């Protein structure tokens, strides 16, 4: 076909739609039967499944490239180092960071936040200072700050959340004070699905000279994240929630802050030279990566981010939004079911409770139907308590879910209702 004919044809044909059937075929685990029923996987917020391309990238690395990084002159060590550093460059591009020096590989979001609390926190926070979080944080963005406060005499403050799950921005603004040293908030809530107004939060904090850490664990898999556009100072995420392996994640840190931060773990790779009395530390970002890193994990993460880029983050977000709207409508129509978290800006999470049924029973009955959801406090106990709940049931969507998954969820919940009356 001539170029002109191709252009004419593409102008005439309808907009390409998201091919969820093809996406599903790329995730081998989705072909499994669970309890004799085809798997409906609705727990991607806890851990997403991995496409073949990620599994193959790891296999290729392990079978043809593996050696330790940054230390050998031999070919394999150089190949492994290249693969590892190439993955860092992919993360940089994915977050639109200015430089790969701003990307530190960690085990995941939890370790990224602990790194900031231990390194930046201990050198910038003292008695009487305050760290400002919100009530909807995952424990990973609460406990490290409590530990920092206990060690330094600082205080942890938390901005409340409105009954629909949105942040009370007025209260947040009032809690931001001359004592605030850091704002640390989720980009997207794992328990409620709320997308926080991070740009506005950064704007308010920066107006007072306060840096902002964003917990991006639930944002990175579902929407475009541009750390320069958001202008945040730290951004943390986990590989296993974005179709990559467990045990790997990344911390973005603005170079001017990272350059002034002390190392938090000592050991090999983070030094330039070591004497018995003292050592000199390595350059960014290796100064923050003591010991042999998770090399194949980084390679897998790089492949996962490239996979997401290949589907298109806008296309994934649009597809998941359609599922979210469908699930919200269908679940709202079920008798004695209440959605928890109805913010106007939401990512692909539907949390709910059913009158007279414990969430764990919902989860167990759905599992017998082959449907995987998460039940419990979702490691976000303060927000559960604020809603007067011990637990919810949570269905979360990924790039591979489809309308049939929502149908199966609704059928499963109808069965739950029948069993419990």
Q: Which residues are catalytic?
A: 379
Cβ proximity to ligand 7TS: between 218 and 294 the closer is 218
CB of 236 to ligand 7TS, least distance (A): 8
Question: Could you write out the three-class secondary structure of the chain?
Answer: CCHHHHHHHHHHCCCCCCCHHHHHHCCHHHHCEECCEECEECECCCCCCCCHHHHHHHHHHHHHCCCCCCCCCCHHHHHHHHHHHHHHHHHHHHHCCCCHHHEEEECCHHHHHHHHHHHHHHHHCCCCCEEEEECCCCHHHCHHHHHHHHHHCCEEEEECECCCCCECHHHHHHHCCCCEEEEEEECECCCCCEECCHHHHHHHHHHCCCCEEEECCCCCCCCCCCHHHHCCCEEEEEHHHCCCCCCCEEEEECHHHHCCCCCCCCCCCCEEEECCCCEEECCCCHHHCCCCCCHHHHHHHHHHHHHHHHHCHHHHHHHHHHHHHHHHHHHHCCCCEEEECCCCCECCEEEEEECCECHHHHHHHHHHCCEECEEECCCCHHHHHHCCCCCEEEEECCCCCCHHHHHHHHHHHHHHHHHHC
Residue 50 in contact with ligand 7TS, rule: CB under 6 A: no
Residue 417 in contact with ligand 7TS, rule: CB under 6 A: no
**Count of chain residues binding ligand 7TS (CB under 6 A):** 17
CB of 242 to ligand 7TS, least distance (A): 10
Cβ proximity to ligand 7TS: between 192 and 210 the closer is 192
Q: Quick one: which segment of 51-59, 64-72, 221-229, 373-381 binds ligand 7TS (CB under 6 A)?
A: 373-381
Q: Quick one: which segment of 92-100, 108-116, 163-171, 291-299 binds ligand 7TS (CB under 6 A)?
A: 108-116
Q: Quick one: which segment of 136-144, 206-214, 318-326, 383-391 binds ligand 7TS (CB under 6 A)?
A: 136-144
Residue 378 in contact with ligand 7TS, rule: CB under 6 A: yes
CB of 400 to ligand 7TS, least distance (A): 18
Q: Which of 108, 165, 297, 302 binds ligand 7TS (CB under 6 A)?
A: 108
Residue 186 in contact with ligand 7TS, rule: CB under 6 A: yes
Q: Quick one: which segment of 11-19, 107-115, 252-260, 335-343 binds ligand 7TS (CB under 6 A)?
A: 107-115
Judged by CB under 6 A, the chain residues 320 through 339 that form the site for ligand 7TS are none
Judged by CB under 6 A, the chain residues 20 through 39 that form the site for ligand 7TS are none
Judged by CB under 6 A, the chain residues 209 through 228 that form the site for ligand 7TS are 215, 217-218
With beta carbons less than 8 A apart as the criterion, state whether 116 and 253 touch. yes
CB of 117 to ligand 7TS, least distance (A): 13
Q: Which of 132, 140, 248, 298 binds ligand 7TS (CB under 6 A)?
A: 140
Residue 138 in contact with ligand 7TS, rule: CB under 6 A: yes
The Cα–Cα gap between 190 and 218 comes to 6
Beta strand pairing call for 37-38 and 349-354: unpaired
Enter the tokens of residue 239: 């590989």
CB of 147 to ligand 7TS, least distance (A): 16
Residue 242 in contact with ligand 7TS, rule: CB under 6 A: no
Q: Quick one: which segment of 5-13, 67-75, 137-145, 356-364 binds ligand 7TS (CB under 6 A)?
A: 137-145
The Cα–Cα gap between 171 and 152 comes to 25
Q: Which of 34, 46, 169, 271 binds ligand 7TS (CB under 6 A)?
A: 46
Q: Under the rule (CB under 6 A), what is the footprint of ligand 7TS?
A: 45-46, 108-110, 138, 140-141, 186, 190, 215, 217-218, 238, 374, 378-379
């Amino acid at each position: 076909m001539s170029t002109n004919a191709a252009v004419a044809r593409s102008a005439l044909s309808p907009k390409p739609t998201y091919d969820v059937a093809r996406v599903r075929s790329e995730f081998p685990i989705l072909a499994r039967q669970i309890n004799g029923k085809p798997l409906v996987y609705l727990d991607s917020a806890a851990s997403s499944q991995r496409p073949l391309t990620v599994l193959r990238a790891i296999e290729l690395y392990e079978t043809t490239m593996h050696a330790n990084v940054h230390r050998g002159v031999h070919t394999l060590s150089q190949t492994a180092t290249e693969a590892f550093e190439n993955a860092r460059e992919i993360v940089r591009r994915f977050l639109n960071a200015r430089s790969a020096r701003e990307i530190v590989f960690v085990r995941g979001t939890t370790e990224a936040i602990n790194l900031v609390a231990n390194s930046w926190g201990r050198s910038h926070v003292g008695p009487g200072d305050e760290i400002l979080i919100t009530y909807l944080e995952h424990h990973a963005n609460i406990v490290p700050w409590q530990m920092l406060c206990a060690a330094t005499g600082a205080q942890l403050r938390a901005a409340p959340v409105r009954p629909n799950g949105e942040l009370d921005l007025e209260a947040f603004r009032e809690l931001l004070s001359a004592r605030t040293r850091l704002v640390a908030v989720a980009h997207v809530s794992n328990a409620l699905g709320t997308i926080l107004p991070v740009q506005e939060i950064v704007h308010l904090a920066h107006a007072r000279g306060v840096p902002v850490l964003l917990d991006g664990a639930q944002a990175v898999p579902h929407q475009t994240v541009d750390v320069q556009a958001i202008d945040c100072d730290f951004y943390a995420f986990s590989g296993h929630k974005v179709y990559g392996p467990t045990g790997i994640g990344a911390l973005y840190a603005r170079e001017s802050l990272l350059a002034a931060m002390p190392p938090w773990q000592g050991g090999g790779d983070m030094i330039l030279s070591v004497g018995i009395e003292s050592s000199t530390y390595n350059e960014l970002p290796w100064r923050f990566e003591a010991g042999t890193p998770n090399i194949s994990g980084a390679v897998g993460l790089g492949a996962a981010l490239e996979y997401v880029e290949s589907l298109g983050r806008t296309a994934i977000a649009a597809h998941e939004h359609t599922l979210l709207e469908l699930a919200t409508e269908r679940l709202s129509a079920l008798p004695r079911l209440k959605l928890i978290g109805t913010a106007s800006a939401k990512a692909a999470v539907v949390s709910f409770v059913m009158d007279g049924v414990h969430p764990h029973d919902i989860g167990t009955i759905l599992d017998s139907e082959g449907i995987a959801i998460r039940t419990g406090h979702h490691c976000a106990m303060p927000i559960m308590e604020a809603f007067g709940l011990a637990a919810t049931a949570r269905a979360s969507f990924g790039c591979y879910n489809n309308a049939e998954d929502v149908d199966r969820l609704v059928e499963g919940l109808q069965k739950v209702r029948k069993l419990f009356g």
